[in-house]
Amino acid sequence: MKLRGRAQFALAALAVVVILFVFVFPTRSYLAQRSRVGAARHDLDVLRKQNRELETTARHLQSPSEVQRIARDQFGWAFPGEQLFKVLPAPAPTTTVP
């Protein structure tokens, strides 16, 4: 009789292990994968938005007027015959104590 009780216990334990492997572990794996897919979709949306913004900026930078503006502002370039003048900010006032 003791042997039969142990066999039933072993079968019940085996059934629990089988249920865990068949239902619980795959479900946890599925939920983890679903979470990772959601995060990847969010990252993809952010990257697509940034890509659209960069494409707009790239098109804007290819216009001759923008190239000329950048050359003048950032590099101090001028057309032949033009003179550039740089206006410096006024020095900070100094106070003297009598």
- pLDDT surpasses 80 at 38: yes
Give me the pLDDT at residue 2, please. 67
Is residue 9 pLDDT above 90, yes or no?
no
Flag whether pLDDT at 40 surpasses 70.
yes
Q: What are the structure tokens assigned to 87, written together?
A: 């206006």
Q: Contact 64/70 with Cβ under 8 angstroms?
A: no
Mean pLDDT, the chain, rounded, equals 87
Q: Are the CB atoms for 51 and 45 separated by under 8 Å?
A: no
**Which amino acid, residue 6?**
R
Model pTM score: 0.52
Lowest average pLDDT, out of 26-30, 32-36, 40-44, goes to 26-30
Average pLDDT of the segment spanning 2-25:
80
Domain ranges of the chain: 2-75
